[in-house]
Chains A and B, each alone.
Chain A
Amino acid sequence: MLTVSGLCKSYAGLAVLTDVTFTLFPGEAVAVVGPNGAGKTTLLKCVAGLEEPDSGLVELDGAPLRESDPAVRAAMACLLDDADYFPDLSVVDHLTLYAHAHGTPDVPGTVASVLQELDLPADQLPVTLSSGQRHRLGLASCLVRPRRLLLLDEPEQRLDHAGRSWLADRLTKEKASGTAVLFTSHDPDLIAAVADRQISA
């Protein structure tokens, strides 16, 4: 499904990614691990098309991945460090809009279920949410729409213990439903519970 081959990226002569190559299959989860500054987020950004690699290729379903391609946007749900929101749309408005925009069947039911699952205040505007709640909204925006590939940058961040358990369970279910998951993490428990393979950045 997702093929990354020979990916290289450097900033001002400092190599961050060197010849990264891997393949991600449907229903599989791959964890990108490594210390801070190793290039985990850069790898995810290159895969998502936010960063242009110096060399190498990222392909989705056999075609070069172009971030602005509607087909890519329909297949790929991302939670990276550039998450953004409409300041004047509430939590439930965001989720409803995303669901309609991606043609989710049974929008009210799906939105209500995700809201309950993530314990989000439906009527609040994003600017009034805590950083943890905002992170949950980012996760919710990925889960409220159809997806075949999940890209998550340290999804366990800002989640409490119960939240991390829920996340492990949810990602396991995502795999079971055929969704491919590529995520970075510093949480060994989450990696052990979800990842089928690990890549060192």
Chain B
Amino acid sequence: MTRFSLAALAERAVYLVVLGAIGAEAVASGLSGGSAPPIAEGVAAALTALCLVLLAKGLLGFGPLYAGAPARTWVLSTPADRGRLLRKHLAGAVAAGVGGCLCLGFAFVAVTRLTVAVAPWFAVWAAVGVVVACACVLIQSRYGSVPLVQRGLAVTAWLLAGTAMVADSGLDLVVPVPVALTCAVAAVWLARQRLGTMTRGRLSSGAELATATQASALSLDVTLFWTIVLERRARSLGRVRPAAIHGTRFTALIRADLARIRRTPTALLFWAALLAVPYGAAVTPFLPAIHVVAGFVAVDRLAAGLRVVSRAPALRRALGGSDRELALAHLAIPGVGAVVWSLVTLLVVPGVTPLMAAITTFGALAVVYRVATRPPLDYPTPVIDVGLFGPTPLGLILQLSRGPALLAGLALVQTAVG
């Protein structure tokens, strides 16, 4: 190994230690409590249950077991033991469920300042994750049951969001560790029994989304992911009643955008659910940064129309007018969403100041616009070395500057003035 490689390794080790220490400090701070008042247990319980439902929805969206086109064509078409082939996939789904639930367990303790025995607490949450993931596999293995369960989960999510608004005291629900672990083992056994019955059709239901997620993660561009999500939603809707599109050119564009929002209530649910994030973060010193990031994510859920029209030259040609006018019309609904979201947090969340709300309103809208209108990643660009991550393509840096880096800068500004 050369001296240069050793120096590069040492440099990255330093970064890892620094970032790891920050993470460990955040976890320790969350578990030990702080000076700020805790969140009511009822509210936290309802929000945690809501996140659990969203986790299940997400897992079902990916399958949770899926096989890409090569595996479907070359492996699953053979008489190979399908149950054995899918064991790794099941392990992946279970790991995702456990990871998600451990985060939920940590968040619950962090925001309620509940005193818990750490090992049993997280053991129960891990068991919940296993049960949720395996239940999703069982649902996937039954013909035609996924859409029905998805609809039920959507209704449950809305009910839980409503409950979070009014709940004040929590349920004293105690699950003994042995019971939780027994349920988890039973769930894994049941799920493994069903692996052999998975058809290629059922395994391909989430492959498109999984491929898009991988591509989006590798290219640091969520456009492909959201395009597939939108198409899947549209496929599940199939037919819709005509939207009330009328008025002048500008109002017709806004009414069409409004119709799109009404047809995808999950986006509105996310927008509303994200109101709880700064509420939960009010007890932490990261409130200003979390406020602006949550604001961006919430407003971005309402900007599907802007994303579509920005990426489709054919649509812009068909709609006529200038690109600026089309972007403005499709910024109207996200703009209103940004104002209302910030206003509600200003009124409800302790610690949110008018200046913080104003920065989030304009900042989130600006980032949403920049992200939606950024050009695709240009691969054949020069590579420069900025030290932190080694040689990096200039195109990737420019891409980041129109998305995550811009948001990070905004979070720093918010923290500085907050």
Q: Which residues of A contact B (CB under 8 A)?
A: 48, 50, 67-68, 70, 73-74, 76-78, 80, 82-90, 92-93, 96-98, 100-103, 107, 121-128, 141, 145
- Nearest residue (CB) in A for B242 is A92
Q: Is B192 part of the binding interface, using a Cβ–Cβ cutoff of 8 Å?
A: no
Interface of chain B residues 231 through 260 with chain A (CB within 8 A): 231, 233-235, 237-243, 245-249, 252-253, 256, 259-260
Task: Provide the residues of chain B in CB contact with A67, threshold 8 Å.
Answer: 313, 317
Task: Provide the residues of chain B in CB contact with A96, threshold 8 Å.
Answer: 242-243, 245-246, 252
| Cβ contact within 8 Å between B320 and A97 | no
| Cβ contact within 8 Å between A127 and B314 | no
| Cβ contact within 8 Å between B256 and A73 | no
Once A97-B319, A102-B320 are accepted as A-B contacts, the answer to whether A89 and B259 lie under 8 Å apart by CB is yes
Task: Provide the residues of chain B in CB contact with A122, threshold 8 Å.
Answer: 242
| Cβ contact within 8 Å between A88 and B249 | no
Q: Which of A76, A83, A93 contacts B243 (CB 8 A)?
A: A93
CA distance A122 to B239 in the complex (A): 9
| Cβ contact within 8 Å between B242 and A127 | no
Q: Which of A80, A97, A141 contacts B256 (CB 8 A)?
A: A97
Once A84-B314, A86-B256, A124-B239 are accepted as A-B contacts, the answer to whether A101 and B321 lie under 8 Å apart by CB is yes
Interface of chain B residues 317 through 346 with chain A (CB within 8 A): 317-323, 325
| Cβ contact within 8 Å between A100 and B242 | no
- Nearest residue (CB) in B for A67 is B317
| Cβ contact within 8 Å between A90 and B240 | yes
Q: Is B230 part of the binding interface, using a Cβ–Cβ cutoff of 8 Å?
A: yes
Number of interface residues of B (CB under 8 A): 41
Name 19 interchain pairs, CB-CB below 8 A, sorted by A.
Answer: A50-B313, A67-B317, A68-B323, A78-B314, A83-B314, A86-B260, A86-B305, A86-B308, A88-B259, A88-B260, A90-B239, A92-B242, A97-B319, A101-B252, A101-B253, A123-B240, A124-B239, A125-B237, A125-B239
Residue among A86, A102, A128 with max Cβ neighbours from chain B (10 Å): A86
| Cβ contact within 8 Å between B317 and A88 | no
- Nearest residue (CB) in A for B312 is A84
| Cβ contact within 8 Å between A124 and B238 | yes
Once A70-B320, A101-B319, A103-B249 are accepted as A-B contacts, the answer to whether A125 and B312 lie under 8 Å apart by CB is no
- Nearest residue (CB) in B for A100 is B252
Known contacts A96-B242, A102-B249; 16 additional CB pairs below 8 A are A67-B313, A73-B316, A78-B314, A83-B314, A87-B230, A87-B231, A88-B240, A88-B264, A93-B245, A98-B319, A121-B239, A123-B239, A124-B239, A125-B238, A126-B234, A127-B231
| Cβ contact within 8 Å between B233 and A88 | yes
| Cβ contact within 8 Å between B235 and A128 | yes
Q: Which of A50, A89, A93, A101 contacts B320 (CB 8 A)?
A: A101
Task: Provide the residues of chain B in CB contact with A84, threshold 8 Å.
Answer: 308, 312-315
Once A80-B314, A97-B253 are accepted as A-B contacts, the answer to whether A68 and B322 lie under 8 Å apart by CB is yes
| Cβ contact within 8 Å between B239 and A73 | no
Once A86-B305, A88-B234, A127-B234 are accepted as A-B contacts, the answer to whether A70 and B246 lie under 8 Å apart by CB is no
| Cβ contact within 8 Å between A127 and B252 | no
CA distance A50 to B314 in the complex (A): 9
Measured CB to CB, the closest approach of chain B to A54, in angstroms, equals: 19
Measured CB to CB, the closest approach of chain B to A76, in angstroms, equals: 8
Residue among A50, A73, A85, A88 with max Cβ neighbours from chain B (10 Å): A88
Task: Give me the 5 closest cross-chain CB pairs, A-B, nearest first.
Answer: A100-B252, A84-B312, A87-B234, A73-B320, A84-B314
CA distance A95 to B171 in the complex (A): 52
Task: Provide the residues of chain B in CB contact with A70, threshold 8 Å.
Answer: 320-322, 325
Measured CB to CB, the closest approach of chain B to A166, in angstroms, equals: 21
| Cβ contact within 8 Å between A123 and B320 | no
Task: Provide the residues of chain A in CB contact with B320, threshold 8 Å.
Answer: 70, 73-74, 101-102, 145
